[in-house]
A and B are shown apart, each in its own frame.
Chain A
Amino acid sequence: MQNMKGQHTKPGSSNNPLLQIKLLLGIWIGKSLIALTRVFGRGGTTLPGRMALKVAPRISSSLAGLLPEGSLIVTGTNGKTTTSALITGILKEAGYNCVHNQSGSNMSWGVASALIAASSWTGHMPGDFAVIEVDEGAFPKVVQSIRPRGIIITNIFRDQLDRYGEIDHIRDAIKSGMESQPEYGFEVLNADDPSLISIEENCGKKRWSYGLELNLSTDTFENTGRDIKTCPICNEKLAYEKIFYAHLGHYHCLSCGYKRKEPDVKLTDCKTSLDGKPLLQITLPGEEIKVNSPLMGNYNLYNLLAAITCAKALNISNPDIAVALEKSIPSFGRMELFELDGKTIIIALIKNPVGANEVLRTILGQADKINILVTINDKIADGTDVSWLWDVDFEQFSSVKDKLSSVTVSGLRAWDMAVRFKYAGLDPAKFKIEENTAEAIEVALEQIPGGGKLFILPTYTAMLEIRSILNKKGLGKPYWEE
């Protein structure tokens, strides 16, 4: 594998003493605040990074620059956390040490916090790679400062409109980030997303693409979240031979002829074993990889494929990839499993219509009785506008009423969610409303028999709250101890 040493300037070893002092000061402030927030059981990822960036604005760039193998940045609307965790797993299997913002704190200050947490008090950076997930809005700035070796982009969907406005703006942000990547770098893009793969290639960079070549069964979801209806080149109508979900699929333009190109890395077969876990067959020019994955849900097929493609771009061996993926566990709040008094709790983050619909699809595919707790907050990290709940196909639950055994709602926006369920056709007398999330978990668990399963569907800050409630019950560990 090509070592990136020497290609980076090393601001950490800069001769400018003032910059050195600022950097160290930033590290100390950051590390002290991280220690402090952990004492209070919060695992702060915002404040330490924010304060450190105030003192040393180039701290992320300096620390990331010390890593001999460089940085990999994962962005896109959905799948960032899972994809970056999978990449980290593969790199670890191949013997590399990785710095990774696994909490999903992915704004510029979250990135800084993760790097500071990994660095030593003297400004040394242990590890080979940084694997960093970055919010789409923060992506251009983070690419500029960190100068990543690899950029991995999952997809572009409609997300929190209160933050970025419209999908066109998100694409512009991603494009401008891609342009500022150093030209020795590589990029990994989803070939099934027309709005993403149509972003022009920059000269000198190696582009890797991945996509599905499968026949997936169709379902009855009404609101497919297809935000891309027109050709990214000529703006005329886009036709699809296959749609995997939302606007991801095999497409061609009826007017200008723009169409999906055959990707470098293809998922050519996917058998589902009885426990719902997929066995994947991945095809590359001249080779085939077979991978067992414990991750449920069609959307995870894309995450797995993105990680495998990134690993191939880094020349990781196939056995390392296969072993790592087989061992992978759901990341932070993404279909994460807990056991409590013989009951199973599964936390599945929801944050936008496309992602939430994929979660519903996975839950509805379960054979067992369905118990759900939906927890909706409207703080900044959740998106302050809850109107996206109306674009999620919660109507699906009303068509499986006999399978749905309990429904509880909670969170700051519990009542919005209750109205949503009522208009989705559920009988209000049948669901429980409890704004306080700790109480709501108790209420939800009481309704489940031993051996039963509770799916908790929280927004981001609600997920942090629920995880910390479960941690206090002795379930799982705070993420910084994992």
Chain B
Amino acid sequence: MAIIRIYHLYPAHLNLYGDRGNMLALCRRAEWHGIDIEVVPVEPGGRINFSCCDLLFMGGGQDSDQKLVAKDLKNHRTEMRQAVEEGMAVFAVCGSYQLLGYYYTTGRGEKIGGLEIAEFYTEAGPKRLIGNAVINCSLWNPPKTLVGFENHAGKTYLGPNLQPLGEVLVGYGNNGADKKEGAVYKNVIGTYLHGSLLPKNPWLTDNLLEKALSYRNQVFQPAQLDDSIEQQAHSSVIRLASSKRHKRRSSRV
């Protein structure tokens, strides 16, 4: 039986926007596909043995938690970067996504150094970018859509060689200007979308499981799953996100 070891980074601190749902989706779907999952919770201050990690999950956190995490994670930067270069799968949401870049400049002008895993930076904008989002992921063949909810003050700008996770169809994405959302580097996926993201986008969940397996030279043999409820949830968000009426009743003037 195939096995994936998921390192859940700082679960007590990075759990802001239903990140529990992302972990739940990874575990449930792995189980349904007949993959064994071992979840290793990682707490600040401890040793992180990246060589045993197949998939690293990093959720979003409050500002105060975020700072603590950034400080702790910097002690592991070299090992983490090495694992990423070798193909470790990483899924990072919101604040954790920002942490993967070069730096984050806060609203007060404070510059917090990132892990420099991928070539991008983030600067706090004057207003929070909040709402439903729909993304077209053309890196995948055939292209896929992602639906989620975003809520971030940071505006992220990707370097010229970094691929976005997708193009924004509805919502703001990385910075509200260039129509790009998230970033993909090797087996690393960073995104602003939560919702929770993975339960309503089962293809991405499976893709992460596949990345984690292929990193360890294991083959992903998907089971035939009935995803009709997930698909309905997926299309209902596209419907709501595209509806002007719904936008009116769900946005603050």
In the complex, A229→B62 CA distance in Å?
12
B17 near A415 with CB under 8 A, answer no
B248 to chain A minimum Cβ distance, whole angstroms, is 10
Q: Does B236 contact A (CB under 8 A)?
A: yes
Other-chain residue from A162, A166, A223, A386 in contact with B63 (beta carbon distance below 8 A):
A166
Among B130, B131, B229, find the residue whose CB has the most chain A CB atoms closer than 10 A: B229
Interface SS majority for chain A: helix
B62 near A168 with CB under 8 A, answer yes
Q: Does A391 contact B (CB under 8 A)?
A: yes
Other-chain residue from A162, A168, A419 in contact with B151 (beta carbon distance below 8 A):
A162
A391 to chain B minimum Cβ distance, whole angstroms, is 6
Q: A387-B21, A418-B233, A423-B21 are in contact. Are A412 and B240 (CB under 8 A)?
A: yes
Other-chain residue from B12, B18, B226, B232 in contact with A390 (beta carbon distance below 8 A):
B18
Hey, which chain B residues are within 8 Å of A223, CB to CB? 20
In the complex, A387→B21 CA distance in Å?
8
Of the listed stretches B70-78, B168-176, B192-200, B206-214, chain A binds: B192-200
Hey, which chain B residues are within 8 Å of A235, CB to CB? 64
Interface residues of A in 410-451 (CB under 8 A from B): 412-416, 418-420, 422-423, 428, 433
B229 near A380 with CB under 8 A, answer no
Other-chain residue from A162, A384, A390, A416 in contact with B233 (beta carbon distance below 8 A):
A416
B225 to chain A minimum Cβ distance, whole angstroms, is 11
Q: Does B149 contact A (CB under 8 A)?
A: yes
In the complex, A423→B199 CA distance in Å?
8
Among A162, A223, A229, A389, find the residue whose CB has the most chain B CB atoms closer than 10 A: A162
How many chain B residues touch the partner (CB < 8 A)? Answer: 39
Interface residues of B in 108-165 (CB under 8 A from A): 128, 130-132, 149, 151
Q: Does A339 contact B (CB under 8 A)?
A: no
Hey, which chain A residues are within 8 Å of B200, CB to CB? 416, 419
A389 near B18 with CB under 8 A, answer yes
A379 to chain B minimum Cβ distance, whole angstroms, is 5
How many chain A residues touch the partner (CB < 8 A)? Answer: 33
Q: A378-B240, A387-B149, A390-B199 are in contact. Are A423 and B63 (CB under 8 A)?
A: no
Q: Does A319 contact B (CB under 8 A)?
A: no
B93 to chain A minimum Cβ distance, whole angstroms, is 10
In the complex, A386→B199 CA distance in Å?
13
Give how many A-B residue pairs fall within 8 Å (CB-CB). 95
Q: Does A385 contact B (CB under 8 A)?
A: yes
A415 near B233 with CB under 8 A, answer yes
Q: Does B219 contact A (CB under 8 A)?
A: no
Hey, which chain B residues are within 8 Å of A420, CB to CB? 21, 199
Q: Mark B64-86, 1 if CB is under 8 A from A, else 0.
A: 10000000000000000000000
Hey, which chain B residues are within 8 Å of A422, CB to CB? 229-230
Q: Does A165 contact B (CB under 8 A)?
A: yes
Among A161, A163, A433, find the residue whose CB has the most chain B CB atoms closer than 10 A: A161
B196 near A390 with CB under 8 A, answer yes
In the complex, A399→B131 CA distance in Å?
34
Hey, which chain A residues are within 8 Å of B240, CB to CB? 378, 412
From B250, which residue of chain A is reached at the shortest CB distance? Answer: A384
From A167, which residue of chain B is reached at the shortest CB distance? Answer: B62
Q: Mark A358-395, 1 if CB is under 8 A from B, else 0.
A: 00000000000000000000111000111111110000
Hey, which chain B residues are within 8 Å of A163, CB to CB? 252
Hey, which chain A residues are within 8 Å of B21, CB to CB? 387, 389-390, 420, 423
A162 near B25 with CB under 8 A, answer no
B250 to chain A minimum Cβ distance, whole angstroms, is 4
In the complex, A415→B195 CA distance in Å?
13
B195 near A387 with CB under 8 A, answer yes
Q: Mark A161-186, 1 if CB is under 8 A from B, else 0.
A: 11101111000000000000000000
From A461, which residue of chain B is reached at the shortest CB distance? Answer: B249
Other-chain residue from A166, A380, A386 in contact with B195 (beta carbon distance below 8 A):
A386
A388 near B62 with CB under 8 A, answer no
Q: Does B28 contact A (CB under 8 A)?
A: yes
Taking Cβ atoms with an 8 Å cutoff, the residues of A that contact B are 161-163, 165-168, 223, 229, 235, 378-380, 384-391, 412-416, 418-420, 422-423, 428, 433
The 4 closest A-B pairs by CB, nearest first: A390-B21, A387-B18, A390-B18, A415-B233
26 A-B pairs within 8 Å (CB atoms) are namely A161-B151, A166-B63, A229-B13, A380-B250, A384-B131, A384-B250, A384-B251, A385-B17, A385-B149, A386-B195, A387-B149, A387-B194, A387-B195, A389-B18, A390-B24, A390-B196, A391-B18, A391-B20, A412-B246, A414-B236, A415-B233, A416-B200, A416-B237, A418-B233, A419-B230, A423-B28
